Amino acid sequence: MLMLRVRFHGRGGQGAKVASRVLGTAAFLEGYYAQDFPLYGAERRGAPIAAFTRIADEPIMERGVISEPDVVIVMDKTLLRDHQAKPLSGLKKGGVIFINTPQSPEEARAEYTIAGQIITLDLTKICLDILQRTVISSLAGAVAAKIVGLSEASLKAAVEKVISEIVTDSVILEKNIEAALYCFHAIPAVELKTTEAVQMESRVFTMPFEPAAISSPALNTTGTTVLRKTGNWRVFRPVWDYDACNKCQICVARCPEGCILVNEEGFPYVDYENCKGCLICVEECPAKTLGKEREVHAKADSEEVIG
Ligand code: SF4
Ligand code: SF4
């Protein structure tokens, strides 16, 4: 029995769930059996989430989260230092890790001490260039489709089907297809060497009754509590221009994290340890004085504290 297991790690709002759907749909359209599903903790923009796709040439009896993936898609590289998300946990020997980063595979390998096959591509930049947004679902689904060996035609049809069920704007749909095909061709073809993965039979588990802290650990770890600093969730950070700010405090009131403070002169300033980069403040500023800057290089020292 052929069985490939792909695990996506992203942040709420990046499109990990839809990426797994794009991959599963492409596999289905190519004649395989497929499963795709997400796992959330508390639904919160920027919070770590995972999504899963199984692809097989026979009906899939296996259920539940994928603990031993053949392929891991890391949609936000700061998750590689996240002690709750643990995106590389259980990756099979010979498996492939894709990382959304401007770094080369060698740079990523050195920074994160990764042993497996690594592929990198700056999906966020490609998405900003083509779609002018940071929802990289189609792009992440596309690189996963390339890694598992699906065809361009199946990917294109899958993006068309999945994205058209979410958006009605034909321009956005066409740009999603364009971005997905760009990424599909931008990464090299790889050989998945997880021999045990393609031979493994589906297994049936006996599920014992467990306390919620064990059976739903994603909801019970510090990953969703006030103890967790969310500053490494950002793709963009808000930046203030005090010359144009009129001190109306609307940004302060709208921040869902309560992390915009006010200094003695009445100007807002942000606690970057907790700002998760949702950019609601940027949207809401009536004077349009708030700007944004992309966080390309996360600081390793702050990630250690956050993880
Ligand atoms: S400061 Fe702005 S970007 Fe940061 S969490 Fe608050 S609203 Fe979101
Ligand atoms: S909403 Fe804009 S103008 Fe008002 S305090 Fe915030 S940055 Fe200044």
Question: What is the whole-number distance in angstroms between the Cα of residue 233 and the centre of ligand 2?
Answer: 23
pLDDT, mean over the chain:
86
In degrees, rounded to 5, the angle at the alpha carbon of residue 88 between the alpha carbons of residues 84 and 89 is 70
246 CA closest ligand 2 atom index: 3
Cβ pair 94, 115 in contact under 8 A: no
Residue 223 confidence (pLDDT): 52
Query: 140-164: per-residue pLDDT in tens?
Result: 999 999 999 999 999 999 999 999 9
Q: Which residue has the higher pLDDT, 73 or 114?
A: 73
Residue 72 confidence (pLDDT): 96
Residue 55 confidence (pLDDT): 96
Residue 85 confidence (pLDDT): 83
Which protein residue's CA is at the shortest distance from atom 6 of ligand 1?
255
For 142, the token pair is 């596309």
Question: What is the whole-number distance in angstroms between the Cα of residue 186 and the centre of ligand 1?
Answer: 33
Residue 199 confidence (pLDDT): 39
Query: 284-299: per-residue pLDDT in tens?
Result: 999 999 999 988 754 5
CB atoms within 10 A of CB 16: 29
pLDDT beyond 80 at 208: no
Residue 224 confidence (pLDDT): 54
Burial class, 250, CB count within 10 angstroms (exposed 0-12 / middle 13-18 / buried 19+): middle
Question: What is the whole-number distance in angstroms between the Cα of residue 73 and the centre of ligand 1?
Answer: 26
Q: Which ligand places an atom closest to the C-alpha of 286?
A: 2
Cβ pair 46, 279 in contact under 8 A: no
Positive or negative: CA dihedral 242, 248, 249, 251:
negative
Cβ density class 39-76: b for 16+ within 10 Å, e for less: bbbeebbbbbbbbbbbbbeeebebeeebeebbbbbbbb
Query: 17-32: per-residue pLDDT in tens?
Result: 999 999 999 999 999 9
Pocket of ligand 2 (CB under 6 A): 240, 245-251, 268, 285, 287, 289-290
Question: What is the whole-number distance in angstroms between the Cα of residue 257 and the centre of ligand 1?
Answer: 7
Q: Residue 201: which pLDDT band, with cuts at 50, 70 and 90? A: very low
pLDDT beyond 80 at 204: no
Q: Does residue 285 line the site of ligand 1, with CB under 6 A?
A: no
Cβ pair 99, 86 in contact under 8 A: no
Q: Which ligand places an atom closest to the C-alpha of 288?
A: 2
29 vs 27: CA distance, rounded Å: 5
pLDDT beyond 80 at 193: no
Q: Using only C-alpha atoms, what is the Rg of the chain?
A: 20
- Say what percent of the chain tops pLDDT 70: 85
Q: Which ligand places an atom closest to the C-alpha of 243?
A: 2
Q: Residue 232: which pLDDT band, with cuts at 50, 70 and 90? A: confident
Q: Which residue has the higher pLDDT, 172 or 64?
A: 172
pLDDT beyond 80 at 221: no
Average pLDDT (196-222) is: 52
- Say what percent of the chain tops pLDDT 90: 65
Among 134, 252, 261, 279, which is best to mutate for testing ligand 1, by the most ligand atoms less than 8 A from CB? Answer: 279
Helix (H, G, I), strand (E, B) or coil at 121: strand
CA distances in angstroms from 180 to 33, 72, 151, 176, listed in the order given: 22, 18, 12, 6
